[in-house]
Amino acid sequence: MAHAADRVRPTARVPAHAADRVRPTARVPAHAADRVRPTARVPAHAADRPRLTRTRPVGRDRPPPRYHPHMSERTGEPHPLDDFGWHPDPELVWFADPARSREAVEALGAAAWEVALDWLYDEGFRRPVGPMRYAELRREWYGASPDAPAATVGPPAAPADPVAAAAILDEFRARLAERQFSSYHRRSWSYFTPPPLLLSIVGELLTQVIDQGVDVWHCAPSGAFVEEETIRWLCDLVGYGPGSFGALTSGGVMANIMAMTVARDVQLARLVAGGPGRGDDPRSRGEPLPDPPRGAALAGARVYASDQAHFSIARALDILGFPEGTLRIVPSDDRFRLLAGPVAEAVAEDRRAGLRPFAIAAVAGSTNTGSVDDVAGLTDLAAAEDLWLHVDAAYGGAALLSERDAGRIGSLARADSVTVDPHKWFFQPYDIGSLLVRRREDLRDTFHREPEYYRTPGHEEEPLSFYQYSLEGSRRFRALKLWMSWKHLGTSGLGRLVERTDDLAARLATLIAASDDFEALPEDPALSVVCFRWLPGGRGAAAGLDEATLDAVQDRLQRALEISGEGWVSTTRLRGGTWLRAGIVNYLSTEDDVDGLLASLRRLGTDVVREMGL
């Protein structure tokens, strides 16, 4: 066999019946026509680094497909592919024969990857969001007249006939490429959507190809172990011991709903049944938990959270059948933190009223400001008052990746359950959240079911099937991207990226504090979220503006930044006022981007106040 170095690379095979088909070609934007393509730079210190090489034979040197000996391929004519001649890309519909389809599949992959990289470098780094408003873009997307009410414009019928893959990729270029949000733009600092790590993107690609359903072990034999490993890593990260467990979810909302479900069916069940303190778990004696409370048994239950808690806590209690008033909101302090003292007072008041406190929902990294509740104090309070403690660390939990910054959120090890969202500060693509519990049996006792169609005869031990630990049945293989990218960077590397974004937020806050025309609330960020506003003419001049006018300035300034394409921040409401909000989880950003954002806002703000007549 010829050495691979001398082997001719195969070109895409175009079947005879598709000879006239349009194939996607590389699109070179006009503004990039003269761009010099960079060559691969190999740092000196990386001279001996293992290089990515192709390990499989190519072209006609590939071995024949490996079928089970009792599944021989049909020989002779007609070939199964002939049954798909009704499609312009038959080899991309019936692709089981590598001799007939692999080169076409490789060509499709190459074309799709080219489209992806063209978008990334020609659009993704160019601007974070498009300039159009919702109604305008909706009318354009659906081909409606400019004056058509947006509510009357809607999708067309589903396509009746097949279309070639090349045409669909071309449609992506023409219709979608310029109309995307980009987390890759270096001043894209709004919601917690980071640019995903490249190995996590590769992991997501492999996930879609192998298509594992990590609900029943048979549908993901090794996938279940990959998820088990990543759950173990996350449990170790929050300080849980060997008896802990968890499940990956679609995000923080699902994780918080599951957490409140477990708190109801484990903690509240025991309280309603009048059982002993939580230190005496009947399961330790081989006895089952009391029946989970439903209906009238939920009356009088109380959960405590701050005004900065995620909306999903209230949503969870609604879904779970709790009556109105179950969630008691305790005001946060001047740094938007939930403190133990006010919660203790609320618990005592509710007990005197004959109500049944059973849980605290704390936050370690709020969506609004990045604030971190008094987790240590709330942990002690929960233990003293026999309450379930759930910590929503969907965003802030990643601070534990950094030895330097872990102390910003404190220890989560004594919480009963913790939400962590890797698609936030672990730099993963959507979607991957997680719920972690200190006691594995809490998940299983809450969600365990044994439908007859999921029987597993023939196994000495019961296989790990995640549907028994989760609210979800069918579950995609979310773990692979995190597993691969965590291995690629290591905990220390992920921690460096967290520190980088914390440092950028600190720089932004420092520049704001040193200026006369910006102010932040709070002045120093707990993590990497900075809430701030522009003060037209400086602090003295802005003091003469009423709050409604100052709020309008922030809204118009945010929109002006959006239109300019120079950056993107969101807005929020704090203490009755409108503030700009920079949630910096973008590890591609630099200090120059921080400086540049403030410069852009000052320049754009001048136009805003002129247009407002101020």
pLDDT tens digits, residue range 552-562?
999 999 999 99
- My answer on whether 239 and 353 are in the same domain is yes
Cβ atoms of 526 and 335 closer than 8 Å: yes
317 has a pLDDT exceeding 80: yes
> Is 149 a domain residue?
no
- My answer on whether 496 and 562 are in the same domain is yes
Lowest mean pLDDT among 148-162, 302-316, 388-402, 464-478: 464-478
Half-sphere exposure of 456 (CA within 13 A, CB side): 13
Last-in-domain residue among 424, 446, 476: 476
Helix (H) / strand (E) element for 115: namely: helix 98-119
> Is 314 a domain residue?
yes
> Is 118 a domain residue?
no
- My answer on whether 469 and 534 are in the same domain is no
Residue 373, preceding bond cis, omega within 30 degrees?
A: no
DSSP structure string for 299-356: TTEEEEEETTS-HHHHHHHHHTTPPTT-EEEE---TTS---HHHHHHHHHHHHHTT-E
| Band of pLDDT at residue 276, cut at 50, 70 and 90 | low
- The pLDDT of residue 216 is 80
Lowest mean pLDDT among 21-25, 220-224, 407-411, 565-569: 21-25
170 has a pLDDT exceeding 50: yes
Which sign does the torsion angle of CA 59, 63, 69, 72 carry?
A: positive
342 has a pLDDT exceeding 90: yes
Last-in-domain residue among 476, 501, 533: 476
- The pLDDT of residue 217 is 72
- My answer on whether 366 and 224 are in the same domain is yes
* Backbone dihedral angles phi then psi of residue 549, each to the nearest 5 degrees: -70, -45
Lowest mean pLDDT among 440-444, 445-449, 581-585: 445-449
> Is 414 a domain residue?
yes
Last-in-domain residue among 444, 476, 508: 476
* For residues 511-525, average pLDDT: 97
- My answer on whether 218 and 363 are in the same domain is yes
Name which residue leads in pLDDT, 570 or 12.
570
- My answer on whether 461 and 380 are in the same domain is yes
For residue 523, what is the domain's CATH number? 3.90.1150.170
- Name the domain count of the chain: 2
450 has a pLDDT exceeding 60: yes
- The pLDDT of residue 65 is 62
40 has a pLDDT exceeding 50: no
- My answer on whether 372 and 514 are in the same domain is no
- The pLDDT of residue 278 is 61
- The pLDDT of residue 68 is 63
- The pLDDT of residue 409 is 95
Strand stretches in 186-313, DSSP E:
245-249, 301-306
C-beta neighbour count of 14 within 10 angstroms: 15
Instruction: In whole angstroms, give the CA distance from residue 574 to residue 336.
Output: 9
Return the DSSP state at 215. Answer: T
With a CB cutoff of 8 Å and minimum separation 6, the contacts of 12 are 23, 103, 104, 106, 107, 110
| Band of pLDDT at residue 57, cut at 50, 70 and 90 | low
- Residue 572's SS3 state is strand
- My answer on whether 450 and 591 are in the same domain is no
* For residues 343-357, average pLDDT: 97
- My answer on whether 408 and 298 are in the same domain is yes
> Is 94 a domain residue?
no
Return the DSSP state at 392. Answer: E
- The pLDDT of residue 537 is 94
Q: Which two structure tokens, joined as six digits, stand for 239?
A: 């300080």
Amino acid at 215: D
Instruction: In whole angstroms, give the CA distance from residue 302 to residue 323.
Output: 10
| Band of pLDDT at residue 548, cut at 50, 70 and 90 | very high
- The pLDDT of residue 517 is 97
Which own/partner contact pairs does 443-452 have at CB distance under 8 Å and 24+ positions apart?
443/245, 443/246, 443/247, 443/262, 443/469, 443/470, 444/468, 444/469, 445/265, 445/266, 445/283, 445/288, 445/289, 446/261, 446/262, 446/265, 446/266, 446/292, 447/258, 447/261, 447/471
> Is 93 a domain residue?
no
Name which residue leads in pLDDT, 273 or 343.
343
Burial 520-547 (b: 16+ CB within 10 A, else e): bbbeebbbbbbbbbbbbeeeeebeebee
| Domain coverage including residue 426 | 212-278+290-476
> Is 24 a domain residue?
no
- My answer on whether 303 and 380 are in the same domain is yes
As a whole number of Å, the CA-based R_g of the chain is 28
| Band of pLDDT at residue 444, cut at 50, 70 and 90 | very high
Instruction: In whole angstroms, give the CA distance from residue 388 to residue 442.
Output: 12
Name which residue leads in pLDDT, 444 or 3.
444
> Is 544 a domain residue?
yes
- My answer on whether 453 and 563 are in the same domain is no
Cβ burial, residue 259 (10 Å; 0-12/13-18/19+): buried
Lowest mean pLDDT among 12-21, 37-46, 418-427, 534-543: 12-21
- My answer on whether 456 and 565 are in the same domain is no
For residue 384, what is the domain's CATH number? 3.40.640.10
- The pLDDT of residue 466 is 75
pLDDT above 70 covers what percent of the chain? Answer: 86
- The pLDDT of residue 64 is 62
Name which residue leads in pLDDT, 567 or 39.
567
- The pLDDT of residue 61 is 60
